[in-house]
Amino acid sequence: MSKQSVCERERSYLSKMNKFQLGNQFKKVGYGIAIAAFILMIGRKYIENSEWLRPILHGVLLIGLLVISLSKEKLEDEFLDSLRSQSYRLAFILAIVYSLVQPVVNYAVAVLFNQDDELQGFSYFQVLFFMLIVQLMMFWQLKRMNR
């Protein structure tokens, strides 16, 4: 097998992976999953010994948001692809800033209210949830502003 054919296959595979999106009908599925998980998270507050359910619902909510994020619009074109790319880039940058600033803010608030003043981290759920919400909101805002 020649080097060129291997490179061609790799390039086509990477191109397919780069353009991966779910169909538009999955957007409704994603909304359904996210809303159901959110309602169940609220309902979990009223159930005793339900702490084991929390990470499961967090994961389900993240999956619902990811499905929404990966779903195509009804009319998907290169302009929307560009807006989606911009929104992912902005969400990534803001998530990094959030990850760097949030522990400092938590520490400052703890010192201000005379609580235990040690730097505390945060969960993966907070970062991923923030990233997906920011991406979706930025995409919707960019789409609304440019139409």
pLDDT of residue 7: 78
Q: What is the pLDDT of residues 87-125, one digit of tens each?
A: 999 999 999 998 888 888 888 888 888 766 565 667 888
Percentage helix, strand, coil for the chain under 3-state DSSP, each rounded to 5? 75, 0, 25
Buried b (16+ CB within 10 A) or exposed e, 118-147: eeeeeeeeeebbbbbebbbebbeebeeeee
Quote the tokens at residue 99: 């990850």
Quote the tokens at residue 111: 């010192």
Model pTM score: 0.79
Q: Considering only CA atoms, which of 7, 1, 146, 4 is closest in space to residue 77?
A: 146
Residue 118, C-beta contacts closer than 8 angstroms, at least 6 positions apart: 107, 110
pLDDT of residue 116: 66
Backbone angles phi, psi at 22, to 5 degrees: -85, 160
Question: Could you give the dihedral angle defined by the CA atoms of residues 133, 90, 79 and 72, in that order, rounded to the nearest 10 degrees?
Answer: -30
Q: Considering only CA atoms, which of 66, 75, 57, 2 is closest in space to residue 29?
A: 66
User: Please, which pLDDT band fits residue 3 given cuts at 50, 70 and 90?
Assistant: low
pLDDT of residue 1: 55
pLDDT of residue 133: 93
49: left (phi over 0), alpha (psi -120 to 50) or beta: left
When pLDDT is averaged across residues 34-43 and rounded to a whole number, the result is 92
pLDDT of residue 72: 87
Q: What is the pLDDT of residues 7-38, one digit of tens each?
A: 788 888 777 776 778 888 999 999 999 999 99
Other Cβ atoms less than 10 A from the Cβ of 86: the count is: 14
Quote the tokens at residue 103: 């522990």
- How many H helices and E strands in the chain? 5, 0
Q: What is the pLDDT of residues 59-80, one digit of tens each?
A: 999 999 999 999 888 887 888 8
Q: What is the pLDDT of residues 122-142, one digit of tens each?
A: 788 888 999 999 999 999 998
Paired strand residues for 22: 71
